[in-house]
Structures are given as structure tokens and as C-alpha cells.
Amino acid sequence: MQSLRSGVLSALFLSIFVAVPADASVNGSVSGVVKDLTGALVTQAEVKINNVDTNVSSTVRTNADGVYSFLSLPVGHYRLEVRAPGFQTYVVNDITVNTNDELRFDIPLSVGAVSQSIDVKADAVRVETVNTQLGEVIGGKTMTALPLNGRNYTDLLGLQAGVVPVISATYGNYFGSTQQGNVSISGQRETANGFSVNGSDVDNAVNNGTTVVPNLDSIDEFRIITSNFDAEHGNYSGGHVSVVTKSGTNAFHGDLFEFLRNTDLDARSFFDGPRLTFQQNQFGATLGGPIAKNKLFFFVDYQGTRSNIGQATGQVPVPTLAERTGDFSAVAASQMTGSVVGSYWAGLLAKELGYPVKAGEPYYTPGCTSSSVCVFPNGIIPQSAFSAPAKQLIQYVPTPNLGSNLFVSGANTINTDINLGSGRVDYDSQRWGNISGYYFITNNSAVTPFGTNNTPGFPTADQGQSQQFTLSQTKSFNATTLNELNLAFNRYVFHNYLPLSGFGSLSSFGFNENQPGGIVNAAGAFQGVPNIGFNSFQIGMTGVNYNRYINTPSVTDNFSKVIGKHSLKFGGRYYWTSFYEPMPLVGGNGFFSFNGTETGIDFADFLIGAPTSFVQEGGFNVDNLRNYVGTFAQDSWRVKPNLTINYGLRWDIIQPWYEKYNQTSTFVLGVQSKVYPTAPEGYVFPGDNVPGYGTIPRTIAPTRLGNFAPRIGVAWSPPGSDKFSIRAGFGQFYQNVEGALNIDQTGLAPFDIFYPAPQPVVFPSPYTNRSDGGIHAPFPYDTNNFNWSLALPLSGYPVPPIDQKVPYTIAYNLTLQRQFGTHAVLTVGYIGNQSHHLLVQVANNPSNPQLCLSLSQPSQVAPGSPTCGPFLEQQVFTRADGTVFNSTRGPFGGNFGDNIYFATVANSNYNAAQISLQYNSGPLQFNTSYTFSKSIDDSSNLQDRQPNPLNYRLSRALSTFDITNNFVFSYSYELPFEKLARNHLRVLTNGWQLVGITHLASGFPIQLLETDDHSLLANSGNTDTPDVTSGSLNFKNPRNANVANGIPYFNTSLFSPSPIGYEGTSNKAWFHGPGIANYDMSLLKNTTITERFSLQFRAEFFNIFNHAQFENPNGNITAGPSVFGIINMARAGRIGQLALKLLF
């Protein structure tokens, strides 16, 4: 920690006393060279720029090189005026300055009287000849015109090339203003982006999305930098999204609005029955204006959302009515292929059935009609063999209502209530410069009927609040020197998955509570139905309830200086994040999974009480902290009038997360803890000493101080032309580690217990070993006098290794831009990057498949010793020659189970061709973007499947967010209906406008997996894949009725379960699912009421043609033929919305 403090102090010294700019700058700049018509430089020319909205102006004079610069101009509309003795005045009108713009206007002065003037108009679009960052600006007019499903600006991120416009993990988020913006930009992870509002970072510490999404009508514009951002940007490697909200002007302005949706305007989704309920009201207002004209301005806004949105299950395979009674005769021959595991379990079955059952006896063989041949003759389980919990909990298992084994429901609704508002004040002073203050707050609540399951019955509630406060000052000392200061405080509170039903004592649901080997209540007030997972559905109370309180104060200081042809910037930023997380419920009632590992059928296992796995955990409070310091130096060097080189160096000090009270740990092979001397060898804590490494810091991994990131970009245009440019860039970008699972280090002994049963258990008494009847009950436990034997084997612990590094990306690009006339710009480019040390979950104590195979047959082990097999690796085995193995795991051995390193070992590679065309002329504006790309990685995010722990390269595959072809077309056209009427009737024909967004894209990769542990790695991270043979995938058209009736999307006959002890031959993701073809359209009618007031009516339709947008099929071969390869979900059908806005 001492080295970190030194680094922080050094960086703060640079950022405060050297005075440097960082992410606080949201303004733009205007510069250029003044010459006469012979090309001679004009020095000491007076250059004045005026904000036409606020009437605030600035004046500078050209230097010895004829250069003028306005280093920091607020977003707005400007007029530029140049005067010099002996020359005519030159005026440039209609200049629009966007956030982070670097505009250049070279001025040609003509000989004449100053009283004479030449007026020109700035082009509506322009080629970038200075700025080498890639990305575009979306203005407020465009934002409020385009149809947006939820009025969320983040839905427009996908308008730009290189942005995957749909989140791969979840296709939508009903919580409109929290945890948004997690999209992949330029092939980077969906958690690799940075977000700022009015210069202050608003990143969500959980997933690096944004916690602040302002009311759409309050946003002036936002810019996405998609690649090669300058050295002033750091701490992320994907894209940077900078939002600027509206400010007041000398005229009062604002609007009132109401957006209305109801079911009558909608169409049903492909797999739904009747149309889902959709009722939503979004209403609000904005108001801005002067407090003191030309000096002090304000802007305030409010938006409320009330919605009831139907939630569909899709087609969920569930047990048939016969199977609910124990009759599996229809599928027993092909699916009831298991055999009895263990003599103890055989005895329990015999007691319930009333006839003998032997260990190893098959549950069923084809044609079996006698209990002397199989356990369940005719494939029928007598109800006397039903476990007590199954008898009580079967009421919560959905019954089929479509065909014999499908459940479909759309009768449940997600109820959402959102209120948000903000206020901004701007003050312009000759003495103090520009001072701006901004405050934002949103309160959200939602109730979802499914909770964490995919079927209704156990609803949960989510509640959240986000706040942002920003105070900034921009002070110009002279024409070439500028300072910017930004102070910010962000607070984010979120309560997620609060259970609303399913409460009751565990004993009332058939469990042997507080009995030897029985379950123990570790959920406190949340005691109730455990979370139970089957191959295709889940029931029970949520297993996880999070309560998060995140506070982030930050300070940034900016300094800019122009010296000759060099525009210098130096920058620094410091923030500190506190992430407090009290967790009253994390698996307190237990997690049970039934995957068919006993009988071969998941629901049959449930009825007889033979879970595949069982996990229970207590809960404890964690208080995580992190510091960050970033500094940089940058120069924009105008080498020639047509050549600019932007280069810089950034230094990022990204401290790993640490727990305030040192309630954290890690694994180091062969080291015995001195902090907790009775802990098992290899399990260590902050303060322990590791030979060759030193003392383990509070952060577990050290804070790396060598993260220097060079950046360079070149912009060149042909001499005498500003209509064509070639730009190239190269840079290194470090990425902070998201807080998600990395800081949810629950269950860490001795602070808590996370206990996944190492052996098969008995459903009513889950601390009883199903094989031999042994009892291992870790609950309750005493933290102050911890009995380590209760927690062994330590399993399910997610911890960082001591050698964790900082993820980084090397990015490069080459783009060509060409302007056609004054209205169109075409951009064609290649964008590529390589990322290293990406964060991923990796099993650090996997089973040895070959050792397990050598212990898998009764002849290979001593009498009475268990045999090894799938999910049976965590046992004590005795070989026939007497050799004893305390499990087959390594290198940490049998005292440890399936534990996880949050290791920085993954890599990725991205290559793309990106094309965009912008057009802006009078009644027609459009933006077209197309991306042809390929993204490959070992793991796509922290929640992705774990890479193979024995060979990471075996997990290299298409990224989860990979889309080969992605085309987006947005447009706005003022319909020429005014010619259809004259005089007063024109009020009916004027003001019609058609706007829309068209999105055509390839699908996401299908994730192929096998969850039967055939690899014998004993890994819960689903690393296994099936075997595959050569042949055509023979994709089916998902709109064909056969697909809807259960025909696989792809040729599933090519795939088969991998042999026991071997990894499957198939890659985990190598082909894509159904594509996207979506059309959103709006018809607008603008009616002028008076000179200051107008009324706008909008009719908006999302997926207007009700084109089915299918989600990917299930890629889990273990789920069986009724699920594997089957598509059973589609995105929403057509949604209609009507709106009315009063603007002034």
C-alpha cells in the first residue's frame, strides 16, 4: 500500500500543481490560420466568436504564425468574425460546436475596407482534418425525433459503425435508467466502455455501464468515441460516451410531453399466445431560460414512467401430466438410463419401495417389467418413492398448457415506476470564467413475476436510486491558456431480487430442518422455498438478494496551452469508490439442481429426491474500496496546414479492489497462513508472506505502477482541400476491472461459508451423502472460533490471484473520409485491436480426468471405496493396491473443491471494415453505417463460461457479441405535403415528418455446451462441449412452422455427448443464430400555434412490420433432444406508441 500511496501522491501533485485536463472537458474548440489571398500570414488579426443562443462572446488575436484558437467553447451555435486593418471583414455563420469537437476554419482575407464583409455559411457536414479520434455526435434534435423504445439515449449508441446495437447477454432491460449502455464497441467487451455526463464519469462500478441516463429532452447531444481516443481518455478500452445536457439561453424554452402505449397498439410475439399486456405512460417537462441575461442561466427537467409490461415465458419444456404422477413409460427406454449410486441410497429406495434395491442396479432397462431386473418396472416411479420435499413442492412446478409437455404464459406483468429529474445552472463571468453546476436524481422500482426463474410464481422487487452532482469551472487566462476544474460526486443505490413470496419454514416444505444431516436455516427472515433448477426451468425463491451502496467522489483539473503550432494538454484525474454491500440472502435456503445424473431424467431425480448438486451459503457484509489516478500529456502538432499529428502518453494507476476489514483471501500453493494458522495449507490472507513474492497486500494482487499507454494519430488531407482526409491511429489502452463478481467474494471462510456439497446428497437432508450416508454439516458456524473442518472442502470461492494484472488493448485503425458537396460525407475504414490480460473466471483446482478414469471401475478400487465419475470426483478413493487419494483434484488437493480465480489470462482479437455515410440537406437527413467484423476471444465477459483450466486455447471461439454483418440506417424526411393545400388548409398539410431506424444484422453465436461433467474436470463453469462430426449444419428458417413446433434450428445429429474423461471436439461457439431484421418508424405532425409555441403529434411503431426476431436456440446437449437446438423465445412483436408534445 505504501507504493500505491506514493504513486497517488505523485500523480495528484502532477494533476493539481501542474494543472492538467482529463475527462472533464466536454466543450469543443475552434482554431485556424488567417492569411491573405497571396498566402501571406496575417498577424494580430482580431477574431471574435459569439454564442448566438446566450450572446456570450470571446475575442483573441492571431499570433506570429497567423494562428487563432478558442480552446474551450460550450456546446452550441456560433458566429465567427475576423477583422484586420486593410482587409474586408470575414464572417462564418451557422457554426455548430459539439462536445469534444476540434473545428478548423482557415480564413482567407481579401483586401478592402473593414466595413465591407464577406459572409459564408459553415457546411452542414464536414470531413475531420484535425481530430484523429473515431466517432460521431448524435444531436438533441436527432435524439428526440427518432423512435426510441423507452426514450433512452443509450438505444442510439448502435447508430454508429462498430457498435453492436443489441446486448448479447440480455436483449432488453425493463429498468430504463439503470445499468444501461453495456454494448460492445469496436470488438471490446460490453463492460469496457466509459460514460460521462457534463464531464463527470458516471460509470457503474458493478458492470461499467452508466448509472445516469438523463431525460431525453434534457440532452443537448452525446458523442461516442469508438476507437483511438486521445491520451486524455483512460480507464477503459472500448468506447467513450460523453453526454452534454441542455443549458439555459436568453430566451425561455422547453416542452411538455406525454408518451402513451397500450396493448391495443401491439402485436403478439411469435411464441406468445394472446398479446402481452403493454401499458406505459411517460410524461414530463423541461424548462430553461435566463436568470440574468447574458450572464446566468438555468435548465430543469422531470420525467415519470409508469408501466405494466407482460412477461412471456416462451415455450418451456415441463413434465407431462403422466410424469407428474411418476409415469415415465413414454421416455424411459431412451432417457431413464441411470443406475443406483451407493449402497446407502439403495437402502433408502428399498425402504420406500418395499422391495430390494442394489447399488449399481439400473433404474430401467428396455422391456423391464419386474423389480428383480430394474428399480422401476415399466418406467413408472411409485408415489411411495416420492421424496417429502417433492410432494410439497410439486405444486410449484408448472403444468403443461401447450401440447403434452410445454408451458406458455404471458399473463404476468412487470410493474415499473421511475421518476427522474435534473437541474443545471450556468454562470459566465469575466473574472471567474464559466461556472456550471448540475444535479441529477432518479428513483426506480420494479416488480417482476418470474424473479430469477424463467417461470412465474416467485416474484421479486428491484429498487434503485442514482444521483450525480457536478461543479465545474472553465477559466481562460489569455488567448492561449485555459484551465478547467471539475468536482463530482456520484451515488448509486440498488436493492435487487427482494423476494415477495414463497416464505415459510423449510420443515413445512418437507425438509428435515435442524435434524442430523438435515438443512439449516441460513436465510433468516427470507426463509422459504429453496431455489431449484431443472434442465429447462427453475422454481423457488430467488437465491440471491443484493443491496449495493456505491459512492464515488472525483476531482479533475484541466490545463491547455497553445505554443506556435502546438496545442498542448496535460491532465489528471483522481477518484475513490466505496462499494458497500450488505447481503442478507445469498443461497441461505440452498440451491438444488436436478439434471438427470441419477436416473437420467431431471424430473425423475426430483421426485425420488436425488439432486445433482446442492449449495448453501450464509451472508455477510462486504465494504469494498478502490482508488484510481490517471494522468497524461498530449500535443496536437500542426506540422503543415494539411498535416496534423496528435500524440500523447497516459499513465493509469488502477488499484485492485480491496475489502475495508480485510475480509478477503486467495490461494497460493504450498503456503501455510500465519494470519489464520489453522486454515488449510494453500489458503492465505492479506498480511501473509509468500516466499519470492512478499507480504500479500490488502488488494491481494499488487497495484501496478507501470501502466503507461502511448497514443498517436495522424490526419492528412491533400494540399488545398478540406474535402478529403486520411487518418491513422495507434494506441494502448488500459481497462479497469468491473466490480461485478470480482468484489462479491461471499462465502469466504472464516468470514462466511459457501458450501457446495462435494458428494451427491439426499433432497430432504442435503448434508447427508447419498452414496454412503455420511453427514457433513457446516452450519451453523462461529466466525470468531472457526472450525475449519466444517468448511472443508473449501469450494466455490471466487478470489483474485496474487499475480493479477491490468487488462489492456492495442488498437489501430486507418480511415478515409470524403465530402461530397456540402451535405454528404463518406467514411471508410479498417479498425482492429488485440486485448490481453482480460479478466475471466478460471477453475484453479480442477479434477485430473485420467486419474478419475483410473478409479472409475469397481475392479480398480478397494472394496468399500467409491468409484470416480462425473460429479463424483470430490471423494476419498482407495485404489486396489491400497493407494489413497483425497479426491482427484489438483494442484491444491482434496481440502479444496471447485474454486475460482478471477484471473487476467484471456485474450481477444477484433478486425473490422466499417463504412458510414452521413447526409444532411434541408428536408432529408440520414445516417448509414455498416460493419463487417470478426471478434474472437477466450472469454467474452466475467459471467461467460470458464475457459478450459488445462488449456485456455481450447476455449478460444467467437465472442458472445460477435456479429458478422451489421447494417443500421436512420433517417428523417420532411414530407412535401404543403403543396397539397393552400391558405388556412395548410395547417393540415404542413409539418409532416417521417423518421425511422432500420437494423439488419447477422445473429449472435450459439453457445454449445455439455453440463454432464463428461470431461471429469469437476468444473461448475460449463467448460465442457459436445463432440461434433463433419456435415452440413442445415440451418432451418425459424419462421417455418416446423421450427415453432420443435424442429431444431440446426442439424443436431452432428453432435453427441463427449466420451467420459475427454473434452468434446466441438468449439464452444463457431456458428451464429438467427439474424435481426427490425424496422422502427415514426410519423410526426408539427403544428405551429404561435410564433413561440408549437404542437407535435407522434405515432411511433417499433418492429412495425411485426417481423419475428428470434433469440438463439438452446445449445446445451445435456438438456436432451426436446431442448437442444430448439428456439423457444423471440423478442417483442410490434409495439405502438402515441405521443403529444408542446414545445416553446
- The model's pLDDT over 974-988, given as tens digits with 9 standing for 90+, comes to 999 887 877 777 788
The residue among 919, 698, 726 whose CA lies nearest residue 825 is 919
pLDDT of amino acid 833: 97
Q: Work out the percent of the chain whose per-residue pLDDT is above 70.
A: 95
- The model's pLDDT over 58-112, given as tens digits with 9 standing for 90+, comes to 899 998 888 898 988 989 899 999 999 988 899 999 898 988 888 888 999 988 8
> Quick check: helix, strand or coil at residue 915?
strand
pLDDT of amino acid 1044: 64
Return the percent helix, strand and coil in the chain, to nearest 5.
10, 40, 45
* Residue-wise burial string across 817-852, b where 16 or more C-beta atoms lie within 10 A, e elsewhere: bebeeebbbbbbbebbbebebbbbbbbbbbbbbebb
Beta strands (DSSP E) in 252-294 are 253-261, 278-292
DSSP secondary structure, 334-391, as one string: HH---B---HHHHHHHHHHHSS---TT-BS--TT--STTT-SSGGGB--GGGS-HHHH
Q: Regarding the domain with residue range 23-126, which homologous superfamily does it belong to in the CATH classification?
A: Carboxypeptidase-like, regulatory domain (2.60.40.1120)
Q: Work out the percent of the chain whose per-residue pLDDT is above 90.
A: 63
Residue 1 pLDDT level (bands cut at 50, 70, 90): very low
- The model's pLDDT over 624-667, given as tens digits with 9 standing for 90+, comes to 899 999 999 999 999 998 999 999 999 999 999 999 999 899 99
Distances (CA, A) of 1025 to 398, 891, 1067, 1113: 30, 24, 7, 16
What are the backbone angles phi and psi of residue 560, rounded to the nearest 5°?
-130, 145
**In a 10 Å sphere around its CB, with 0-12 CB exposed, 13-18 middle and 19+ buried, how is residue 602 labelled?**
buried
pLDDT of amino acid 15: 36
Cell digits of residue 104: 478548423
The residue among 592, 604, 611, 617 whose CA lies nearest residue 531 is 592
Give the chain's radius of gyration (CA, Å): 32
Sign of CA dihedral 661, 666, 668, 672: positive
CB within 8 Å of 883: residues ≥ 6 apart: none
DSSP secondary structure, 542-576, as one string: -SEEEEEEEEEEEEEEEEEEEETTEEEEEEEEEEE
d(C-alpha 57, C-alpha 46), whole Å = 13
d(C-alpha 1091, C-alpha 129), whole Å = 40
What pTM, to 2 d.p., does this model score? Answer: 0.85
Q: Are 768 and 511 in contact (CB under 8 A)?
A: no
The stretch 224-253 carries a mean pLDDT of 93
The residue among 86, 101, 90, 72 whose CA lies nearest residue 34 is 90
pLDDT of amino acid 588: 76
Segments making up each domain of the chain, as ranges: 23-126, 315-407+502-540+585-618+744-793, 849-886
**In a 10 Å sphere around its CB, with 0-12 CB exposed, 13-18 middle and 19+ buried, how is residue 789 labelled?**
exposed
- Say how many Å lie between the first and final Cα of the chain, rounded: 56
Q: Report the alpha-carbon angle 344-787-544, nearest 5.
A: 75
